[in-house]
């Protein structure tokens, strides 16, 4: 499907060969949808740029995170931009430290908005949802919080003959309050980490965002060079 999309892109530009940039565009199209021409104000584009670069810098600055592959402010699907950070290797286990780093990366866009514009937008809704889900799994399923190694989530399993059973979580109101407190603690820790990193690299945040506003799509190699310059 990806190569077929790349061939169509190349044909539209009257090229005889499929180039790497055609394959890159096709891969992004298959994953995130086709480009959309939205009428955006310059302020909207600027906020999107800082949001996406916020994700990238927070990920780049933390040890053990995967390299940034691409940053874009081209609208696709329901999004106004995207930051692609695919896994460099297959992972069997995740550590508590790396999960908190992932929460920080997910909230890097919101942190950048607040730091630069002293304002927040609805663009971080999906990021907040994902960060909260990771934090809740850390508490409820992975036993990584101060509540200890106990599974507070629903029970589900497959028994003989392929039959499955599902038992809703049976947690007291008091314990649910403790779970919510621990979830918020993990999310807050991630957000504080993101803010701290972006304050440290504020100059780079401005430089990379300005460049992204010029070219709209930035590959990981250029991003890496700018961060190390």
Query: Which residues are designated catalytic?
Result: 52
* Residue-by-residue DSSP string for 167-187: E-----HHHHHHHHHHHHHHH
166, containing H or E segment: strand 164-167
User: Reduced to 3 DSSP states, what percent helix, strand and coil does the chain have, rounded to the nearest 5?
Assistant: 60, 10, 30
In terms of phi and psi (left: phi > 0; alpha: psi -120 to 50; beta: otherwise), the region of 184 is alpha
* Backbone φ, ψ for residue 146 (5° rounding): -70, -10
Q: Are 139 and 186 in contact (CB under 8 A)?
A: yes
- How many other CB atoms are found less than 10 A from the CB of residue 33? 13
- Tokens 């999310």 belong to which residue? 187
Residue 67 half-sphere exposure toward CB, CA atoms < 13 A: 11
DSSP structure class, residue 66: P
């Amino acid at each position: 499907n990806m190569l077929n999309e790349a061939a169509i892109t190349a044909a539209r530009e009257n090229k005889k060969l499929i180039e790497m940039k055609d394959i890159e565009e096709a891969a992004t199209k298959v994953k995130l949808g086709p480009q959309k021409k939205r009428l955006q104000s310059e302020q909207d584009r600027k906020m999107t740029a800082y949001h996406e670069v916020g994700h990238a810098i927070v990920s780049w600055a933390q040890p053990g995170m995967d390299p940034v592959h691409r940053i874009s402010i081209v609208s696709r699907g329901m999004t106004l931009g995207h930051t692609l950070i695919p896994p460099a290797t297959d992972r069997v286990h995740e550590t508590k430290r790396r999960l908190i780093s992932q929460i920080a990366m997910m909230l890097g866009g919101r942190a950048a908005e607040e730091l630069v514009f002293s304002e927040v937008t609805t663009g971080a809704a999906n990021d907040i949802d994902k960060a909260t889900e990771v934090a809740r799994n850390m508490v409820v399923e992975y036993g990584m919080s101060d509540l200890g190694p106990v599974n507070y989530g629903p029970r589900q399993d497959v028994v003989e003959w392929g039959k499955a059973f599902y038992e809703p979580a049976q947690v007291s109101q008091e314990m649910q309050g403790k779970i919510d407190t621990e979830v918020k603690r993990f999310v807050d820790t991630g957000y504080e980490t993101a803010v701290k990193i972006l304050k440290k690299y504020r100059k780079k945040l401005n430089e990379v965002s300005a460049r992204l506003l010029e070219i709209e799509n930035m590959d990981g190699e250029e991003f890496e060079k700018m961060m190390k310059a």
